[in-house]
Structure 1
């Protein structure tokens, strides 16, 4: 009798699933994947361009005679005669041998800021890096414009991106749930998602585009006020690099959340638009 009861307890009631709902429009899905591809190629080509002059400055001018560098990645010869990578951030030096400054397979190490496996091309080729970077930069700009117009027309921007007062009141609870790895699957984005997506789509991506345009001599001639807005071309380059770091961090967290909260459900949402919500979220 005990065995039967135990077996019955093991079977238990079936897990109740929520309904499948249409969560993502075709415009949102298409621009999402266009962004993902564009940002990947912008990253690897941008690091290729950075390797040509692996220093960041604040201000309008740069060079050996100026002391306005905030970041540099290079190599030094150590007292024992070996070569090592060193990264200097705000005057503080860090040994980054094997990762930044000096890296590569044993016996074939190279002096280069970022390693070959993360740049396009893998070898040093500034001209090709610029061609790839500019090409996908304009794809990113076009995608942003398409997304913005479509999101205004179908309500996605108002409904899913811009947080409301009610969303902000729920923010502490959403943060606590994420910290405990308790994820709710609702018809609409939660407060934490709205804030993070809004930050990326409405602040970081436009800032990336504007600072990129500021570094272009052609755009400086057409829009000279851009240089003044960002405090000089070198400051714009530093901001551009900083935004890249923030976008990479967002990507890492974003992928982690997709995996932890249900990769199949999330990927289905971004491929077919269908998303399975929790039973209690039918309303």
Structure 2
């Protein structure tokens, strides 16, 4: 047995191959939900630096939603496929976590056993030797076997770059896209060029990682495979076992690809069940890494009016006659007679407050970046009343009140099981309710809230993605348990297996 290829090394490599497939395929599912990339944080139509769709965007706000831009990807390619970004994000989170654990084990053992010298250069001569190897490869040749110990200089530099530069780069840019991180550490996100800068850099890193994996696996079968394959499969240098190793390697690759595809179809077979399983697996990870992060006061010192976006996307169109003739009547009257219903059965009383009454409550203003889990972002100055201040008007929190439910005049865009559309709603836990930046906004950029962005009142929860921020708010009420409402998962998007309740990702 070759000491340079122990069992732990071969096992972590195989597991890394499996997990990178999960991470990449779920990442492609996320990209298919918004197949455009910007450097500008307002995502203005026509300013994309790259896109994977021929559809042209209208320049007018509020006539085209991000869901209209979503593309269907095959389960053969993405995880899980067929416009399931929420489940894709669950798989991405789980895959990344397992990939990190596997990578940590690999790096620790690499240094503990001294095998790090196989991939980390210890002499400046490696650069000249790598250039010589590059010339051989560009000439469609193969360096002689004596240059591999067990890798040649060019491979050593590539492995060092991937393990110690590219992988951390992907991790750091991925973290920067979390709303929990943005609201807690806004300067960190700004360092990467904001949400879109981080997203674009993460995409570039993904392309480089994909190219490396394809090249890495390809070279195993092209460059001295009679040595490579026995090393990888059996951990030996016996070239007489090449044919056996080749057969096992091909079978393994086919089996892993089959496993990736099976994960997609198994996930789609029962989306609700898949969500329950994935949430159960990822919720402890969120609690450990993200849920403890609370928005930091003074974010307006980081995001200022200079950051306000020129364009603001939306997800969902204003209510129509089929959805709410009541809201349409309020809109046509300038919302003079509109009233917010506050309280609910659990509170024992219900108040009906108009915009004038809401404006008399303490006002909160801040500049914040809105992000959608599909990937777009926009920066605005929001003004309104803190949710906790509004609820104080009702008096003390009722006994058994563990959550607040906010319901819209609008309906869900589509029910995942194709039943008639139901009112859009979101449930907030007590921690989210108490956050300083959880408000009911009636202003944007110093003017009354626009119709397409939720007029006359919309919810803002800056530690979350936009799917929690109900537009065209109709009512706010205390509830005991979100399991008693809708499909019992904490909101319309959660009911559709699109996201996890309180998922600060």
TM-score strictly above 0.5: yes
* Distance (whole Å) between structure 2 residues aligned to residue 209 and residue 254 of structure 1: 21
Per-residue deviation, residues 158-202 of structure 1 (Å, max 9, x unmatched): 343235223223223322333323441643321011011111111
1:194 is aligned, of 156, 159, 178, to: 156
Alignment match, 2:91: 132
- Contact kept in structure 2, 1:116 and 1:123, CA below 8 Å: yes
* Distance (whole Å) between structure 1 residues aligned to residue 28 and residue 189 of structure 2: 22
Kindly report which structure 2 residues correspond to 1:123-272, keeping only aligned pairs within 5 A, or say none. 123-162=82-121, 164-178=123-137, 179=139, 180-184=141-145, 186-263=148-225, 265-272=227-234
* Distance (whole Å) between structure 2 residues aligned to residue 222 and residue 140 of structure 1: 25
- Contact kept in structure 1, 2:4 and 2:115, CA below 8 Å: no
State the structure with bigger RCO (CA 8 A, min sep 6), 1 or 2: 1
Kindly report which structure 2 residues correspond to 1:21-32, keeping only aligned pairs within 5 A, or say none. 21-32=2-13
Alignment match, 1:11: none
- Contact kept in structure 2, 1:23 and 1:274, CA below 8 Å: no
Kindly report which structure 2 residues correspond to 1:93-108, keeping only aligned pairs within 5 A, or say none. none
**Structure 2 CA distance for partners of 1:145 and 1:229, relative to 1, 3 Å:** farther
Alignment match, 1:36: 17
Alignment match, 2:48: 69
**Structure 2 CA distance for partners of 1:184 and 1:176, relative to 1, 3 Å:** farther
Aligned-pair distance for 1:75?
3.4
Task: Give the SS at the match of 2:230.
Answer: helix
Matched, 1:121 2:83: no
* Distance (whole Å) between structure 2 residues aligned to residue 183 and residue 219 of structure 1: 49
- Contact kept in structure 2, 1:177 and 1:183, CA below 8 Å: no
- TM-score, structure 1 as length reference: 0.70
Alignment match, 2:39: 58
* Distance (whole Å) between structure 2 residues aligned to residue 68 and residue 28 of structure 1: 45
* Distance (whole Å) between structure 2 residues aligned to residue 195 and residue 28 of structure 1: 19
* Distance (whole Å) between structure 2 residues aligned to residue 207 and residue 233 of structure 1: 15
Bigger mean CA offset, 248-257 vs 135-144: 248-257
Aligned-pair distance for 1:264?
5.1
Per-residue deviation, residues 212-263 of structure 1 (Å, max 9, x unmatched): 1111112334443430221111111111111111111112222221111244
* Distance (whole Å) between structure 2 residues aligned to residue 252 and residue 159 of structure 1: 21
Bigger mean CA offset, 216-225 vs 48-57: 216-225
Aligned residues: 223
Please identify the structure whose Cα radius of gyration is greater: 2
**Structure 2 CA distance for partners of 1:154 and 1:115, relative to 1, 3 Å:** same
**Structure 2 CA distance for partners of 1:22 and 1:153, relative to 1, 3 Å:** closer
Bigger mean CA offset, 139-148 vs 267-276: 267-276
* Distance (whole Å) between structure 2 residues aligned to residue 162 and residue 276 of structure 1: 27
* Structure with the largest fraction of helix: 1
- Contact kept in structure 2, 1:51 and 1:114, CA below 8 Å: yes
- Contact kept in structure 2, 1:41 and 1:133, CA below 8 Å: yes
Q: Where does structure 2 lack aligned partners over 5 or more consecutive residues?
A: 57-69, 240-505
Alignment match, 1:9: none
* Distance (whole Å) between structure 2 residues aligned to residue 115 and residue 63 of structure 1: 28
Q: Where does structure 1 lack aligned partners over 5 or more consecutive residues?
A: 1-19, 77-85, 87-110, 278-283
* Distance (whole Å) between structure 1 residues aligned to residue 165 and residue 73 of structure 2: 27
Per-residue deviation, residues 104-131 of structure 1 (Å, max 9, x unmatched): xxxxxxx837555311123111111011
RMSD over aligned Cα, in angstroms?
A: 2.5
* Distance (whole Å) between structure 1 residues aligned to residue 13 and residue 84 of structure 2: 30
- Contact kept in structure 2, 1:74 and 1:113, CA below 8 Å: no
* Distance (whole Å) between structure 2 residues aligned to residue 172 and residue 115 of structure 1: 40
Bigger mean CA offset, 45-54 vs 184-193: 184-193
